[in-house]
Chains A and B, each alone.
Chain A
Amino acid sequence: MATKKSYNYDQYQVRKTKRWVNVVVTIVLVIWAVINLYPLYWMLAFSLKDNDQILVTNRFGLPKGLPSEWIWSNYKEAMNTGPIGKFFLNSIIITGATIILTTLAAMMASYAITRIRWRGSEAMNRIFMLGITIPIQASIIPVYLVVSKLQLINTPIALIIPYSAFALAMALLICTGFMTQIPKELDEAAYIDGCGRSKVFFTVILPLMKPAVATTAIYTFLQCWNELMFAQTFMTGLKSMTLPAGMAQLFGSHTTQWGPIGAALVIATFPTILFYVLFSRRIQDSFIAGAVKG
């Protein structure tokens, strides 16, 4: 091979990645991808089989035969085991309300912290940031005692408020990050035009914060859509349960037929996967934003 004796740039040896290295790298990554996907595929497969196939005759793959011979009735049975539709609706309402409340509170607070100069704004921000390190377990007992005393068990509000509080710190982090990048001259121009603080917030700042809203919303969504601990404790009636709590409840009642369980799992997972396929880039970016700044 060429040596580096000559200083002519063209003859400098740039180490090219060897082809077989790339092949090996790709193989390793594909194997890991299969390890990730296979259990999910296996789940989809057993949702379309009966116990005999799942446990004895055809344990690893999709059912044999034409799709019309697969046991689609598992899905019908899964839908009949409990109010899965209601679980979905509850989850959507609670998550939606949490996103709105969190985003609003975070936007307003980050406006007060980053756009208005006052003593203690830094300290205030730091206090809010403590929220990132406080585990959800820290407040479940006192909040539960208050919620049950106020007879709010089984009401959406019992989850919306705690979820918002726990999503707040990260939302604030994302929002302040975006807001400090908006040039101060914009506010100043608006003040000269005679706008007050609130008008500046609503007409100048908020419209510029759309990307932050998207990131905050996605992050908040992911934080509460799958939450189990609060949901199971605060939602005891089947009709008011969120999707994770409800599914956990349904599986608690022992079914020996695997097919319908698999079908229920697929039903619960499908919307998440769809959401991910549609917004994968955005979702990944919000996770990164949350972690890098945290």
Chain B
Amino acid sequence: MFGRGHFSLGRQSIMKRKKLDGITIFLFLLPALVLFIGILAAPLISSVVNSFYQYKGFGSKTWLGWDNYKRLFDKNQIPFWDSVVHAFILAGFSVFLQLPLALGLALLLGRGIKGERFLLSVNFLPVLISTVVIGQLWLKVFHPEGLVNSLLRVVGYLKEGDKNIQWLGDGQGKLLWACFIPMLWQYVGYHMLLMYAGVKSVPPELREAAKIDGATDWQVDRFVVIPSMKQILKVSVIFAVTGSLKSYDLIRIMATLQTKEASVPSTILMDYMTLRGEYGVASAVAVLLILLCFFFAILISAAFKERD
């Protein structure tokens, strides 16, 4: 072959070529590098640095050491710990309720029934719809006179004369659930799509072979399909957990940033950044959020590796 795409060049021209290549490589990487360093790398470092200062966005910064972090973990000052707990609850429901549901639906869909593609498309639709719309829609669903209470009346759970249930803020944590349910609802289709692709990537011969050996559909799913979907399942679990930790949009629409009942780390971040202008505290929240995301991504990957 011709080595690196050019042949029988003298030593000098190879040197020249190399230098030229260096410039070419640099120029081709430049736009991506500028974006990466300018928006990801430098701000990341800057967030870490800012988290140790008191900074109001103007004027000078005051060194605080770990004070911002201490404040975050002091319950009397900032409800950060509660927000992390909320995010963990969401992550738990996502992994143990949303993903099994998605997996079940994907397996059923992957067995090959009439209208398979249509059902897949319909179930994926909510993923694409703007969270603002989803949030507004579910605000109406959970409205005291909205869909849920109306249905409860039809079913007979709420009787004539019973008061409507205040789903959106009775001070007893119903609001958190009112926010979680649409989140879980919206993304079932997303995980289902990924898992469906995993189900479909199992060679049909494998399925047939198992069936010739007398396996039932259920056994085929359990012993042939699921084991071959490990990679996809790993991705789904990572997305579900980090997605829950990062959740923001829907809560922003359905509650206010300062609603403690439905706080998640991102609402605290945005509250301290945009409403209070305490950039140091907000940066500390951002740093902890990044660490949590990385930690869980690595942990989940390791857990899946262990089972090999």
Measured CB to CB, the residues of A under 8 A from B are 4, 12-15, 17, 21-22, 25-26, 28-30, 32-33, 35-37, 39-40, 42-43, 46, 55, 59-60, 101, 104-106, 108-109, 111-113, 116-118, 124, 127-128, 130-131, 133-145, 148, 161-162, 164-166, 168, 172, 184, 187-188, 191-192, 197-198, 201, 222, 225-226, 228-229, 232-233, 243-244, 247-248, 251, 258, 261-262, 265, 268-269, 272-273, 275-276, 280, 283-284, 287-288, 291-292, 294
20 A-B residue pairs with CB within 8 Å: A12-B212, A13-B214, A36-B123, A59-B147, A109-B33, A116-B24, A135-B290, A141-B282, A143-B39, A165-B36, A165-B40, A166-B39, A192-B2, A228-B248, A228-B249, A229-B266, A233-B274, A244-B132, A248-B252, A275-B128
Given contacts A29-B108, A133-B294, contact A105 B130 (CB under 8 A): no
Contact A39 B141 (CB under 8 A): yes
- B residues contacting the other copy or chain, number (CB 8 A): 99
Give chain A residues whose Cβ lies under 8 Å from the Cβ of B189: 36
Contact of B252 among A128, A145, A228, A284 (CB under 8 A): A228
What residue in chain A is nearest B121 (Cβ atoms)? A280
Contact A33 B193 (CB under 8 A): no
Task: Say yes or no: is B122 at the interface (Cβ < 8 Å to chain A).
Answer: yes
Contact A33 B122 (CB under 8 A): yes
Contact B214 A4 (CB under 8 A): yes
Contact A165 B111 (CB under 8 A): no
Q: Roughly how many angstroms separate A144 CA and B32 CA in the complex, as a whole number?
A: 20
Give chain A residues whose Cβ lies under 8 Å from the Cβ of B283: 141
**Residue among B39, B128, B147, B185 with the highest chain A CB neighbour number at 10 A:** B39
Task: Say yes or no: is B28 at the interface (Cβ < 8 Å to chain A).
Answer: yes
| Per-residue interface assignment for chain B, residues 98 to 113, with 1 indicating a CB less than 8 Å from any chain A CB and 0 otherwise | 0000000100110101
Q: Roughly how many angstroms separate A248 CA and B133 CA in the complex, as a whole number?
A: 9
Contact A229 B24 (CB under 8 A): no
Give chain B residues whose Cβ lies under 8 Å from the Cβ of A166: 39-40
Contact B40 A268 (CB under 8 A): no
| Per-residue interface assignment for chain B, residues 161 to 194, with 1 indicating a CB less than 8 Å from any chain A CB and 0 otherwise | 0000000000000000000000001001110011
